[in-house]
Amino acid sequence: MNNEELFEKYVSATLSEAECESLKVLLRDDPRAARDFACYVDETALMVSVAEESQQQQVPEGSANNRTRRPQKRRESALRLAIKVFVPLAAMLVIGAYVLVDYVQNQKAIGEVAVAVQVERNGAIVTLEEKQLVYFDDKVSSSTDGGRLKLLDGSTVTLSKGATCQVSKSTHGFEVSLKNGRGEFEVSSQKNGKSFIVMTPLLRTTVIGTHFTVDADDKTSRVRVLEGLVKVDDLKNEAHFVEPGELAVIEKGGVLSKKNAQKAMGLAPYLCNAQGEDCDVEYLESKNYIVLLYAQKWDPSSRSFVLQLMEFYKKFPGDYEVIFMDAEGDFSVKYKMPWLCVKDGMEEEVAKLLGPNPATYPLNLVILDQEGKVLKQAAKGSKWHGTDSLLLNLKKL
C-alpha cells in the first residue's frame, strides 16, 4: 500500500490496527511523508467544504425538500466541520510532535553510518547499521576493521578494530576525539574558514582537506599523511606541517617529531612476513633505511648469500629492514627468512613504486632511504660491485 492510499484510509476512518501502526511509523521516520500527510488532510477538508457550499447553492432555501432535510444537513455540516477543523488540527499536533523530535535529533546528528559500528548511548551499547544517524554525544567504536562514519560535510572516518572515538561539531567545524586505536580520515574540502580537527591524548591535528591516519593510545600518538597537508601540534608549543609521505610522532613526555616515511607507507600494503602475516606499517616506518634483496632459489650464490644475510641480520640489527623482492613463497618459507617479503601477485605494484631490479644478476642488494633514494647497491646493470661493502654499511646504521 502506497502513502496516498494510507492517507485516504485514515481520512475515511477505515484503517486497520496494523495500517494505523504503519502510518505512525511513517510519520515518525519520514518528515517528508509527514508534510505530505498534513497537506492531504487539509486538501480533503477543503474539498468537503467546497462540496457543502455547492450543495447549499443548488437547493432553494424555502423548498419543502430543504425543510425536511434541514436537521440531517445540520448533522452533516457538524461532521464536515469536524473533518475540516479538528482532524487537521489533530493531525498537525501529531506531525508537529514527530517533526519536533526529528528536528531536535537532527540538530544533534553529526552524520550517518556507512559501515556498521557500535555506539555507547544512554549507558547502553548498540550496533548501528548503514544509514542510521550518529549523534555528537555517541561514543563510537568498531568491533572489526573498517567501521565507517560519513559526516555531514562529506568527510569519512574509518576505524580499526577496537578503536574508539567521539565526534562533535561547532561553528568552527568537526572535531574528532580519538581515544585509542587507529582512525583513517578522508576530509572533504573545508570552506568558509572551517577546519577539521582530530584530537588524541598527546596531539592535535588540524586539517583543511586531506587523507590521513591517526593512531593513539595513552603512551604514543602518530599521524600519517597520504594526501594533502595537515598541521600537527603537541597541545603546547611544538607544531609541524606534515606533507604526503611524512609521519609525525610523539611519545608521552617526549618531543613531537616529524620524519619521512614515504616508501614505508607505499610499500606496506604489499608486504608480509614469511608466514604470510601482513606487514606492520609502524615497524617499517620506524626504520630510516630499506634494504631490497633480489635472490633466486635456483642460483647457488643467491642461496649462499641468503644464509649469510640471515646470520648478519640476527647479529647486527639496526635502523634498517630487509625486503625480499621476488615473491617466491616457498623460498622464503623454506629458508625461514626473518624479514619482510613481497606478497604473491604484488610484484607489479611494488615495481611501480621502486622500479625493476637495477641489475642483470640474479642476486642483488640495494639500500634505500625512506624517500626512495638509492644509497648503495651490489650490482647495477652488468656491473658487479659485491655485497661486502653493503654489509659493512649496514653495520653502521
* pLDDT of 290 higher than 70: yes
Exposure string of 265-285, with b = 16+ CB inside 10 Å and e = fewer, is bbbbebbbbbeeeebebbebb
Asked if 237 and 299 sit in the same domain, the reply is no
Q: What is the pLDDT of the chain when averaged over all its residues?
A: 82
What pLDDT does residue 36 have? 75
Name the residue among 363, 264, 245 with its Cα closest to residue 319: 264
pTM of this structure = 0.63
- Asked whether the beta carbons of 327 and 347 are under 8 A apart, the reply is yes
Among 46-50, 219-223, 379-383, the range with the most confident prediction by mean pLDDT is 219-223
Report the C-alpha gap between 278 and 286 in whole angstroms: 16
Question: Where residue 55 falls among pLDDT bands split at 50, 70, 90?
Answer: low
- Asked whether the beta carbons of 91 and 38 are under 8 A apart, the reply is yes
Asked if 126 and 148 sit in the same domain, the reply is yes
What pLDDT does residue 17 have? 73
Name the residue among 181, 243, 192 with its Cα closest to residue 216: 181
Report the C-alpha gap between 362 and 273 in whole angstroms: 22
Asked if 277 and 228 sit in the same domain, the reply is no
* pLDDT of 327 higher than 60: yes
Indicate the SS3 state at residue 255.
Answer: coil
Q: Which domain holds residue 314?
A: 264-396
Report the C-alpha gap between 202 and 180 in whole angstroms: 11
* pLDDT of 100 higher than 70: no
- Is pLDDT larger for residue 109 or for residue 142? 142
Asked if 131 and 65 sit in the same domain, the reply is no
Which segment of 72-76, 129-133, 168-172, 234-238 scores lowest on mean pLDDT?
72-76
Phi, psi for 229 (deg, rounded to 5): -145, 135
User: What is the domain count for the chain?
Assistant: 3
Asked if 185 and 237 sit in the same domain, the reply is yes
* pLDDT of 91 higher than 60: no
Residue pointed to by grid coordinates 544533534? 108
Length of the chain: 397
Q: Which stretches does DSSP call E strand in 219-302?
A: 220-227, 230-233, 239-242, 246-251, 257-260, 271-272, 289-294
Question: Which of 243, 260, 277 marks a domain boundary?
Answer: 260
Asked if 45 and 175 sit in the same domain, the reply is no
Question: Which of 232, 260, 288 marks a domain boundary?
Answer: 260
What pLDDT does residue 366 have? 94
Which segment of 28-37, 152-161, 235-244 scores lowest on mean pLDDT?
28-37
Report the C-alpha gap between 260 and 258 in whole angstroms: 7
How many other β-carbons are positioned within 10 Å of the β-carbon of residue 376? 17
What pLDDT does residue 97 have? 45
* pLDDT of 234 higher than 90: yes
* pLDDT of 81 higher than 60: no
Q: What CA–CA distances, in Å, run from 85 to 36, 43, 89, 224?
A: 18, 12, 6, 63
What pLDDT does residue 102 have? 45
Report the C-alpha gap between 334 and 338 in whole angstroms: 11
Question: Where residue 21 falls among pLDDT bands split at 50, 70, 90?
Answer: confident
Name the residue among 324, 321, 329 with its Cα closest to residue 282: 321
* pLDDT of 146 higher than 50: yes
What pLDDT does residue 16 have? 79
Terminal-residue alpha carbon distance, the chain: 74
Helical ranges in the chain per DSSP H: 3-11, 17-29, 31-58, 64-81, 87-108, 262-267, 281-285, 300-315, 329-334, 347-354, 388-396
Over residues 293-320, the pLDDT tens digits come to: 999 999 999 999 999 999 999 999 999 9
Report the C-alpha gap between 191 and 24 in whole angstroms: 39
What pLDDT does residue 240 have? 94
Asked if 256 and 120 sit in the same domain, the reply is yes
Report the C-alpha gap between 289 and 263 in whole angstroms: 10
Asked if 392 and 348 sit in the same domain, the reply is yes
Question: Which of 238, 260, 282 marks a domain boundary?
Answer: 260
Asked if 176 and 94 sit in the same domain, the reply is no
- Asked whether the beta carbons of 242 and 229 are under 8 A apart, the reply is yes
Asked if 9 and 60 sit in the same domain, the reply is yes
What pLDDT does residue 52 have? 55
Question: Where residue 47 falls among pLDDT bands split at 50, 70, 90?
Answer: low
Tell me what the mean pLDDT of segment 74-83 comes to: 53
Asked if 212 and 239 sit in the same domain, the reply is yes
- Asked whether the beta carbons of 79 and 135 are under 8 A apart, the reply is no
Asked if 250 and 359 sit in the same domain, the reply is no
Tell me what the mean pLDDT of segment 202-211 comes to: 89
What pLDDT does residue 107 have? 54
- Is pLDDT larger for residue 60 or for residue 6? 6
What pLDDT does residue 301 have? 93
